[in-house]
Amino acid sequence: MKILLAVDGSEYTQRMLDYLGTHKESLGANSSYVVLTAVFPVPPHPASFLSGPVLRGYYDDEARKVLDPIRAYLGQHGFAAEYAHRVGRPADEICAFAEQGGFDLIVMGSHGHGALGNLVLGSVATQVLARCSTPVMLVR
């Protein structure tokens, strides 16, 4: 099974990783994993004052802040994974990446950094559920 782990570095991302660590067998021994984080774009006006390399460096740094701890955690728990980041609105990027990559399952936390905005279910999770044809497993 090809599994996309959508992450943002929040407490719910950690809960999702803990769940995976304790239920690794339920997703199949031969599953492959890709970890994706989406970095919000710098608004156009401020971005116009930055050179391309500076802007790309900023996006890479922001992605590393999220992905490096996850890379360490998954490595300690015996998961081999690929890592990617995209720049854009998280729900849009997760859905597009899942569709283009032919994933069998998206696994993500039920809330992210913006959990106060939508107390029942995080807004990114809600949007991914509504728009993505790939099955989604939410971990609370």
What is the model's pLDDT at position 122? 59
What is the model's pLDDT at position 50? 87
What is the model's pLDDT at position 30? 86
Cα 73–Cα 95–Cα 14 angle in degrees, nearest 5? 20
What is the model's pLDDT at position 135? 96
Q: For residue range 16-55, list pLDDT tens digits in order.
A: 999 998 888 888 778 999 999 999 999 989 988 888 899 9
Domain residue spans in the chain? Answer: 2-139
What is the model's pLDDT at position 15? 93
How do strand 136-139 and strand 81-87 relate by DSSP bridges? Answer: unpaired
Q: Does pLDDT of 71 surpass 70?
A: yes
Superfamily of domain 2-139: HUPs (3.40.50.620)
Full DSSP string of 105-117: EEEEES--TTGGG
Q: How far apart are alpha carbons 26 and 29 in whole angstroms?
A: 8
108 beta partners? 6, 138
Q: For residue range 75-127, list pLDDT tens digits in order.
A: 998 899 999 999 999 999 999 999 999 999 999 998 654 544 444 445 888 99
